[in-house]
């Protein structure tokens, strides 16, 4: 009996060490699956009734496999390799312009100061018609990167359509090595204050260095008493860059983030190694639903260590870490290899991609909402991004204004208005003049907005028309629809301030570029001014962080 017990114990030990094969041996499953997949691929490639492209067919198979995981695990073909370099190094060969799709037209949406596109006169709002000999439109949007990017020093001919010009404008632009700045703008704001504002838009390798340089530069000008670190709309980037940025604010030897892979016993902890260049300056971090990944690592560390206040809206909720694995033929695999945890131990991952997914046999840390404690014993929660200490909305309450923004009407109006008034002294233009011109623009563009109320009334009208009440009720229904039209016009007047705020940001971006847009947006930024009020009130700041006065 004793021998039997010893044998069973030994078997259990060997099994736990992986020295005894199981019926569901992982490698046996992999080998069998590869064999089946390979045979299906070969049979279809050679025998399908219509000839298939073997490479495209395999690419479809790879995408199908990866689509069963999370959206961050992707196959990177030769054409996408350059984009990975941009993310990691922040450099590429190009003309210094951001291109986007506006009303189904390829449009210049932003210019990077100091590079060929901006120097040679390309404007925000220009519609790209042709690149070299290639006509471009929404169907060739995915090819733009290949057409515009290239070796520094090479030429590219760009032909654009410009509002107010009868003929297209042609530019012969020299491609240059574009160094994308993570820190898109910094300075004292308000100008007369001791509050430093830093707008961080990315996390490539140089992010931490840029933040450090900015803070040192500002310290030379005057004392930095407080800092607003703006991470809104920042989609993240490199894990190392996030840690590097954290080190500029949190104390030395403090835990910043923990990373856990498939093996839950193997946890890597990252601690700050520098004395924070921001010193003891009070800190507010601005986040919104566009703040993700590395942005959330920084915000999470600041919150958990009670280093500062988080203001804005709930962040995106991406608590997964990706690794780029080089493959053959200049291709790569970007694969989720770990999950990260803030200093309190919480995961901020919002979506559980493993839930009800048969692909996964087990999940090391399921997504759930649990309570954790900061250094000062404040309650914070997992499973839903970074929840701000102070929630502040920064968008218009008007659904019509939101629709105008979504339809690109502010962008289009600013392009037209700016081109028609090139020599205007913008400081002397009255708000009423801009607003009236915008209303005329909407009428000329035959802009239509249908509210939920109108949709409901129109559905009612259809029901009435199908019955015998139409003759009696339709006049009253028409009166309601006319009243809706009047109310929509009144709504535009009611939210005139919100409309002017969006227009002024667009005009500022055309006058002064990215910096001008940021400065104009801060003037009427509810989240920023809330942050500033918190920073001004030392007692309130300390109460929010549970610091004894």
pLDDT per position as a tens digit, 378-407: 999 998 899 999 999 988 899 999 999 988
- The single residue of 304, 389, 498, 525 carrying the catalytic annotation is 304
**Is residue 79 predicted with pLDDT exceeding 70?**
no
- The single residue of 248, 282, 318, 504 carrying the catalytic annotation is 318
For helices 496-523 and 431-444, give the axis angle rounded to 10 degrees: 120
Q: Give ∠ CA 406-412-415 in degrees, rounded to 5.
A: 145
**Is residue 312 predicted with pLDDT exceeding 60?**
yes
Q: In which band, very low, low, confident or very high, does the pLDDT at 98 lie, cut at 50, 70 and 90?
A: confident
**Is residue 520 predicted with pLDDT exceeding 50?**
yes
The average pLDDT across 341-369 equals: 84
Q: Record the tokens describing residue 386, joined without a space.
A: 């970074």
3-state helix, strand, coil in the chain (%, to 5): 40, 20, 40
Q: Which range has the top average pLDDT, 158-167, 228-237, 328-337?
A: 228-237
**Is residue 484 predicted with pLDDT exceeding 60?**
yes
Q: Record the tokens describing residue 470, joined without a space.
A: 């139409």
**Is residue 420 predicted with pLDDT exceeding 50?**
yes
The average pLDDT across 22-35 equals: 79
Quick count: other Cβ atoms within 10 Å of Cβ 305?
22
Q: Record the tokens describing residue 152, joined without a space.
A: 């520094």
Average pLDDT, the chain: 88
Q: What is the pLDDT of residue 7?
A: 47
The pTM of this model reads: 0.84
**Is residue 18 predicted with pLDDT exceeding 60?**
no
Which contacts qualify for 205-209: CB closer than 8 Å, 24 or more apart?
Answer: 205/88, 205/89, 205/90, 205/238, 205/240, 205/241, 206/90, 206/182, 206/241, 207/182, 207/183, 207/237, 207/238, 207/241, 207/242, 207/244, 207/245, 208/241, 208/243, 208/244, 208/245, 208/247, 208/248, 209/244
The average pLDDT across 93-110 equals: 86
**Is residue 246 predicted with pLDDT exceeding 70?**
yes
**Is residue 119 predicted with pLDDT exceeding 70?**
yes
Q: What is the pLDDT of residue 248?
A: 98
Q: In which band, very low, low, confident or very high, does the pLDDT at 22 lie, cut at 50, 70 and 90?
A: low
Q: What is the pLDDT of residue 10?
A: 45
**Is residue 55 predicted with pLDDT exceeding 70?**
yes
Q: In which band, very low, low, confident or very high, does the pLDDT at 271 lie, cut at 50, 70 and 90?
A: very high
- Distances 169 to 130, 141, 162, 163, 173 between C-alpha atoms, Å: 10, 20, 7, 11, 12
Percent of the chain at pLDDT exceeding 70: 93
Percent of the chain at pLDDT exceeding 90: 54
**Is residue 13 predicted with pLDDT exceeding 80?**
no
The average pLDDT across 64-77 equals: 89
- The single residue of 293, 347, 382, 509 carrying the catalytic annotation is 293
70 is catalytic: no
145 is catalytic: no
Tell which residue, 81, 136, 80, has the closest CA to residue 108.
136
**Is residue 450 predicted with pLDDT exceeding 50?**
yes
User: Model confidence over 146-160: pLDDT tens digits?
Assistant: 888 888 888 999 999
Q: In which band, very low, low, confident or very high, does the pLDDT at 539 lie, cut at 50, 70 and 90?
A: very high
Q: In which band, very low, low, confident or very high, does the pLDDT at 466 lie, cut at 50, 70 and 90?
A: confident
Q: What is the pLDDT of residue 258?
A: 96
304 is catalytic: yes
**Is residue 454 predicted with pLDDT exceeding 90?**
no
Q: In which band, very low, low, confident or very high, does the pLDDT at 421 lie, cut at 50, 70 and 90?
A: confident
Q: What is the pLDDT of residue 499?
A: 95
Q: What is the pLDDT of residue 231?
A: 97
Q: What is the pLDDT of residue 85?
A: 66
User: Model confidence over 177-224: pLDDT tens digits?
Assistant: 888 889 999 999 999 999 999 999 999 899 999 999 999 999 999 999
CA distance 474 to 539: 62
- Of the CA atoms within 13 Å of residue 511, those in its CB half-sphere come to 21
Q: Which range has the top average pLDDT, 91-100, 345-354, 373-382, 419-428?
A: 373-382
Q: What is the pLDDT of residue 24?
A: 57
Greater confidence (78 vs 44) lies with: 44
User: In terms of C-beta density within 10 A (0-12 exposed, 13-18 middle, 19 or more buried), how is residue 381 classed?
Assistant: middle
């Amino acid at each position: 009996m004793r021998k039997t017990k010893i044998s069973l114990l030994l078997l259990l030990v060997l099994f736990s060490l992986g020295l005894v094969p199981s019926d569901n041996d992982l490698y046996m499953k992999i080998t069998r699956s590869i064999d089946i997949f390979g045979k299906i691929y070969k049979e279809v490639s050679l025998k399908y009734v219509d000839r298939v492209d073997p490479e495209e067919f395999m690419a479809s198979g790879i995408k199908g496999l990866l689509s069963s995981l999370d959206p961050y695990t992707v196959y990177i073909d030769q054409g996408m390799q350059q984009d990975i370099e941009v993310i990691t190094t922040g450099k590429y060969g190009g003309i210094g312009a951001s291109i986007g799709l506006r009303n189904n037209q390829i449009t210049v949406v932003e210019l990077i100061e100091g590079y060929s596109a901006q120097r040679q006169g390309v404007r925000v709002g220009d519609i790209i018609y042709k690149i070299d000999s290639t006509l471009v439109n929404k169907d060739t949007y995915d090819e733009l990167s290949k057409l515009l990017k290239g070796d520094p020093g090479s030429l590219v001919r760009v032909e654009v359509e410009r509002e107010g010009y009868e003929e297209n404008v042609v530019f012969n632009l020299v491609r240059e090595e574009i160094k994308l700045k993570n820190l898109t703008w910094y300075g004292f704001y308000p100008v007369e204050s001791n509050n430093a504002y830093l707008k961080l838009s990315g996390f490539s390798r140089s992010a931490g260095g840029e933040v450090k340089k900015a803070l040192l530069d500002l310290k030379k000008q005057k004392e930095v008493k407080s800092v607003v670190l703006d991470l809104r709309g920042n989609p993240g980037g490199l894990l190392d860059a996030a840690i590097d940025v954290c080190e500029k604010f949190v104390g030395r030897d403090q835990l910043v983030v923990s990373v856990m892979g498939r093996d839950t016993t193997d946890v890597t902890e990252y601690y700050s190694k520098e004395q924070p260049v921001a010193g003891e300056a009070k800190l507010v971090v601005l986040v919104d639903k566009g703040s993700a990944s590395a942005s959330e690592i920084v915000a999470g560390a600041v919150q958990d260590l009670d280093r500062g206040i988080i203001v804005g809206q709930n962040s995106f909720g991406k608590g997964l870490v990706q690794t780029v694995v080089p493959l053959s033929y200049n291709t790569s695999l970007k694969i989720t290899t770990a999950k990260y945890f803030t200093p309190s131990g919480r995961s901020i991952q919002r979506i559980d991609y493993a839930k009800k997914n048969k692909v996964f046999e087990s999940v090391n840390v399921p997504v759930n909402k649990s309570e954790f404690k900061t250094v000062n014993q404040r309650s914070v929660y997992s499973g839903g991004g970074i929840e701000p200490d102070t929630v502040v909305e920064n968008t218009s309450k008007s659904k019509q204004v939101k629709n105008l923004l979504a339809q690109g009407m502010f962008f289009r109006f600013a392009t037209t208005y700016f081109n028609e008034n090139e020599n205007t002294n913008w400081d002397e233009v009255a708000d009423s003049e801009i607003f009236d011109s915008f209303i005329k623009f909407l009428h000329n563009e035959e802009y239509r907005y249908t509210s939920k109320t109108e949709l409901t009334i129109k559905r009612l009208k259809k029901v009435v028309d199908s019955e015998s009440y139409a003759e009696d009720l339709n006049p009253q229904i028409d009166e309601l629809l006319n009243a809706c039209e009047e109310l929509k016009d009144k709504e535009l007047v009611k939210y005139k301030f919100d409309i002017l705020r969006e227009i002024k940001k667009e005009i500022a971006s055309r006058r002064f570029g990215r910096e001008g847009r940021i400065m104009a947006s801060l003037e009427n930024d509810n989240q920023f001014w809330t942050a500033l009020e918190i920073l001004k009130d030392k007692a309130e700041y300390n109460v929010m962080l549970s610091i004894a006065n």
